[in-house]
Chains A and B, each alone.
Chain A
């Protein structure tokens, strides 16, 4: 009888242990959510070191950019437990902080000695802080990104084209430093025959459905003097969003679209712009810096054939910020393990490897290292671009603000309806309505 009891006890213990084992294994696994793109693949590679060091398995949930916001904002809004860590877009920070989706990281940073001063200041403001310019941190800067330009260095270096360009414009055919120069180059290449093929001036963002044309237009408007609001009075937009300078900036963007883009450029964003460049259609391309490593490696247009330059200047010198911070999802059951991942990711040697693998580190010790500018052909352009970044609204209602801008600027730039002044006046009205709804004005 005793033997039977022991056997039954043993069986019961074995059953309990076997059913508990999967749970234990699950606790040792973290899910990280992000967009499906080249840097995500680099992060998978990098995270193998984290697994080797801690034993925690990393699982990744990557979705295409076209459904990235829909998928993960739905996940956060429904308090889903899919993601323990999320690399969320910079504009989400306000909403995610105010709606309690992200864990506030101040105490954790203090405890672990992670200092925000160690990161590029613009990325801290852009990816981590809410409210902006206050020491309230909801993310660790993870992936620095900015809108810049690539150009066909091999075309620019053709002696006959250099000669013709200099005779026409009186200066060398080189990476432009001003918008006048950029437009001259774009006009110069528009519908030109190179190697028996018709090529075009530049590919710029014009996409209507998500955020494309806004990212492109703001990239130019900032340089003309466009401001989101009165620096002395928040949400006071009259005369700032629709200032005379902003109107001129928008007119310039339309003129660039009309004169110098390839046919069928009415709905272009990151992928389409990169495709236009890769297929040898355009001399210059506006695109986020994350595309640069892939383009540099491209067999047809990469290597010695490609050059990189930051956004040109006009009255001011800015570039549209992209990129994201990494946050711990407050609905995760594995907060501590997720925080350990952030602690590991913030280490200088990990950040250095992150840059090597194709990620864009935001850590000062990496980007300010003496050999950084020469570490990759695009490193200097990235560095110069990150020094001049500015971001779109990060308000909780950023999506409504974005939709209004998409509609107004696309209507003017691509559809050719009305004037630039009318488009920006309309934008002030739309944005004022959103802030009135939010009770902010």
Chain B
């Protein structure tokens, strides 16, 4: 005998209804839609408050104190804006912010240009495009720890493939191609790895944008004898722009927090040339245990990212409305 799926569900619902005590059923029946809605979202809101909002507020409180997590028994004293003043006057922190801005700027520029170009090419739907799309997406699917270690070996001057390839093209001996130990090259070594890993992500978003443009617009343009170049600048770019901007927003926020890749590749060195804000923050919070000062720095970073992201989202909305 075969029992249909719907009959099983119906039986389960009946069984649940029968098992529900009358008092509970009456209470639920008496609730308004609004109350039931609150009942459903209450667990999510509670979790959000406990995991996101409370720690944020706690960090704000700590940022005004001299609290050190490794000295829990020491008296906690308020220091007003002392921590903020110190963070904002610390040349090392400004150096880290500059380094971060450098990474964010160049990774976004490279990832957007390469990502959009790849998306544009993939969108031509040539033979085997699905296969190449999958191949291109592989770096994005790897863990940053794997990518960091993998590229550390690639950059190795004596045995690394990267040094070998550069040497083959330029004629420079491999032992002189020290990507991670050279002050000028080390930041670029990290930018290259991040670009390699995350360009596929930008490509995917851009591809979604390109695929969302209706064919009839291009057909109309062709009727009007618009050149492919004109079609690209007047149709493709403007219509894909909100998607490109969205990718830039996501990558910008992510790269502002860049930590694992830098730690694995250079540890912040040589000297401090690759010490990004997140590494400085981690050292202050979990190595020096200057919890109050680290909280102030974290709040400043949060406000900076939040503020910039807000301005950017407003710009994005304007572009979308056009």
Question: With A264-B181, A399-B287 as given contacts, are A209 and B268 in contact (CB-CB < 8 Å)?
Answer: yes
Closest Cβ neighbor of A191 among chain B residues: B175
Closest Cβ neighbor of A69 among chain B residues: B287
Interface pair B290/A264, CB less than 8 Å apart: no
Interface pair A403/B73, CB less than 8 Å apart: no
Q: Which residues of A have CB within 8 Å of B158?
A: 262-264, 281
Q: Which residues of B have CB within 8 Å of A412?
A: 271
Question: With A77-B289, A208-B267, A403-B288 as given contacts, are A263 and B73 in contact (CB-CB < 8 Å)?
Answer: no
CA distance in complex: A76, B92 (Å): 29
Q: A403-B288, A415-B270 are in contact. List 13 more A-B contacts (CB 8 A).
A: A98-B71, A99-B70, A99-B73, A100-B73, A208-B266, A267-B266, A267-B267, A267-B269, A397-B288, A399-B288, A403-B287, A410-B269, A410-B272
Q: Which residues of B have CB within 8 Å of A396?
A: 70-71
Question: With A73-B70, A77-B72, A77-B289 as given contacts, are A266 and B269 in contact (CB-CB < 8 Å)?
Answer: yes
Interface pair A411/B272, CB less than 8 Å apart: yes
- B56 close to A (CB within 8 Å): no
- Mask, A242-266, CB within 8 Å of B = 1, is 0000000000000000000011111
Q: Which residues of B have CB within 8 Å of A207?
A: 267
In the complex, which residues 115-164 of chain B have their Cβ closer than 8 Å to any Cβ of chain A? 155-158
- Mask, A218-245, CB within 8 Å of B = 1, is 0000000000000000000000000000
Interface pair A208/B268, CB less than 8 Å apart: yes
Interface pair A399/B289, CB less than 8 Å apart: yes
Question: With A263-B175, A264-B158, A399-B288 as given contacts, are A414 and B283 in contact (CB-CB < 8 Å)?
Answer: no
Main secondary structure, interface of A, reads: loop
In this complex, how many residues of chain B approach chain A with their Cβ under 8 Å: the count is 32
- A417 close to B (CB within 8 Å): yes
In the complex, which residues 72-117 of chain A have their Cβ closer than 8 Å to any Cβ of chain B? 73-74, 76-77, 79, 95, 98-100
- A70 close to B (CB within 8 Å): yes
Question: With A99-B73, A266-B180 as given contacts, are A74 and B263 in contact (CB-CB < 8 Å)?
Answer: no
Q: Which residues of A have CB within 8 Å of B263?
A: 209
Interface pair A267/B73, CB less than 8 Å apart: no
- A421 close to B (CB within 8 Å): no
Interface pair A77/B288, CB less than 8 Å apart: no
CA distance in complex: A331, B92 (Å): 37
In the complex, which residues 8-29 of chain B have their Cβ closer than 8 Å to any Cβ of chain A? none
Q: Please list 7 pairs of residues, one from A and one from B, whose beta carbons are closer than 8 Å in the complex, sorted by A's number.
A: A95-B70, A99-B71, A99-B73, A267-B180, A410-B270, A414-B270, A415-B183
Distance in angstroms from B180 CB to nearest chain A CB is: 6
- B174 close to A (CB within 8 Å): yes
- A400 close to B (CB within 8 Å): yes
Closest Cβ neighbor of B152 among chain A residues: A267
Contacting residue for A415 out of B69, B71, B156, B273, CB 8 A: B273
CA distance in complex: A209, B286 (Å): 13
Interface pair A411/B271, CB less than 8 Å apart: yes
Interface pair B286/A74, CB less than 8 Å apart: yes
Interface pair B175/A415, CB less than 8 Å apart: no
In the complex, which residues 69-86 of chain B have their Cβ closer than 8 Å to any Cβ of chain A? 69-73
B residues lining the A interface (CB < 8 Å): 69-73, 92, 155-158, 174-176, 178, 180-181, 183, 263, 266-273, 283, 286-290
Interface pair B270/A264, CB less than 8 Å apart: no
CA distance in complex: A430, B290 (Å): 15
Interface pair A265/B286, CB less than 8 Å apart: no
Closest Cβ neighbor of B74 among chain A residues: A99
Q: Which residues of A have CB within 8 Å of B71?
A: 98-99, 396
Q: Which residues of B have CB within 8 Å of A335?
A: none
The 3 A-B residue pairs with the shortest CB-CB distance, nearest first, are: A266-B181, A209-B267, A415-B271
Closest Cβ neighbor of B92 among chain A residues: A407
CA distance in complex: A363, B251 (Å): 57
Interface pair A263/B269, CB less than 8 Å apart: no
CA distance in complex: A416, B181 (Å): 10
Distance in angstroms from A102 CB to nearest chain B CB is: 13
Question: With A208-B266, A403-B287, A415-B273 as given contacts, are A264 and B70 in contact (CB-CB < 8 Å)?
Answer: no
CA distance in complex: A263, B175 (Å): 5
Q: Which residues of A have CB within 8 Å of B270?
A: 208, 266, 410-411, 414-415
CA distance in complex: A209, B268 (Å): 7
CA distance in complex: A210, B157 (Å): 23
Q: Which residues of A have CB within 8 Å of B268?
A: 208-209
Interface pair A208/B183, CB less than 8 Å apart: no
Q: Which residues of B have CB within 8 Å of A400?
A: 287-288, 290
CA distance in complex: A310, B270 (Å): 29
CA distance in complex: A76, B72 (Å): 11
Distance in angstroms from A407 CB to nearest chain B CB is: 6
Q: Which residues of A have CB within 8 Å of B175?
A: 263
- Mask, A55-78, CB within 8 Å of B = 1, is 000000000000001100110110
Distance in angstroms from B138 CB to nearest chain A CB is: 26
CA distance in complex: A326, B158 (Å): 41
Interface pair A403/B283, CB less than 8 Å apart: yes
Contacting residue for B271 out of A69, A76, A98, A414, CB 8 A: A414
Interface pair B289/A263, CB less than 8 Å apart: no
Closest Cβ neighbor of A207 among chain B residues: B267
Interface pair A263/B178, CB less than 8 Å apart: yes
Q: Which residues of B have CB within 8 Å of A98?
A: 71
CA distance in complex: A76, B183 (Å): 37
Closest Cβ neighbor of A210 among chain B residues: B267
Q: Which residues of A have CB within 8 Å of B156?
A: 264
Contacting residue for A77 out of B70, B178, B181, B183, CB 8 A: B70
Distance in angstroms from B183 CB to nearest chain A CB is: 5
Interface pair A263/B157, CB less than 8 Å apart: yes
Distance in angstroms from B86 CB to nearest chain A CB is: 10
Of B72, B181, B273, B290, chain A has the most CB atoms within 10 Å of the CB of B181
Question: With A264-B178, A264-B181, A267-B181 as given contacts, are A415 and B290 in contact (CB-CB < 8 Å)?
Answer: no
Distance in angstroms from B77 CB to nearest chain A CB is: 12
Q: Which residues of A have CB within 8 Å of B178?
A: 263-264, 266
Q: Which residues of B have CB within 8 Å of A210?
A: 267
Q: Which residues of A have CB within 8 Å of B181?
A: 264-267, 414
Q: Which residues of B have CB within 8 Å of A79?
A: 72
Closest Cβ neighbor of A209 among chain B residues: B267
Q: Which residues of B have CB within 8 Å of A208?
A: 266-271
Interface pair A407/B271, CB less than 8 Å apart: yes
Closest Cβ neighbor of B71 among chain A residues: A99
CA distance in complex: A87, B183 (Å): 37
CA distance in complex: A400, B72 (Å): 18
